[in-house]
Structure 1
């Protein structure tokens, strides 16, 4: 498994509270939920391959 990049994120406290509740609803940590949201946004805009494309590349 590859190492994860670490970085500091400064975020508005109200937004953090919102993310904290949202993450809890999804049974995720805030950190994991932020990563999930960013990954989904990147996929939707075509900046990151979809999961099916990633699996296809692994088998080729």
Structure 2
């Protein structure tokens, strides 16, 4: 598994509470839930490419 980038994130307490409940509902940590949501948003925006696609572009 690749090393993860660490950074500080400040959130509105109400938003954190929503994320915390949502993460519990999906059996994830809050950190994993945030990462999942960000990846989904990047995919939908066409900015996230799967590793296979990136390798094909490098050839």
Q: TM-score, normalised by structure 1?
A: 0.82
List runs of 5+ in structure 2 lacking aligned partners: none
Residues 4-33 of structure 1, C-alpha deviations (whole Å, 9 max, x = no match):
000000000000000000000000000000
List runs of 5+ in structure 1 lacking aligned partners: none
**What CA RMSD, in Å, does the superposition of the two structures yield over aligned residues?**
1.6
Q: Are 2:44 and 1:44 aligned?
A: yes
Count of aligned pairs: 55
Runs of 4+ in 1 over 6 A off after TM superposition: none
Q: TM-score, normalised by structure 2?
A: 0.83
Q: Tell me the distance in 2 between the aligned counterparts of 1:7 and 1:38.
A: 15
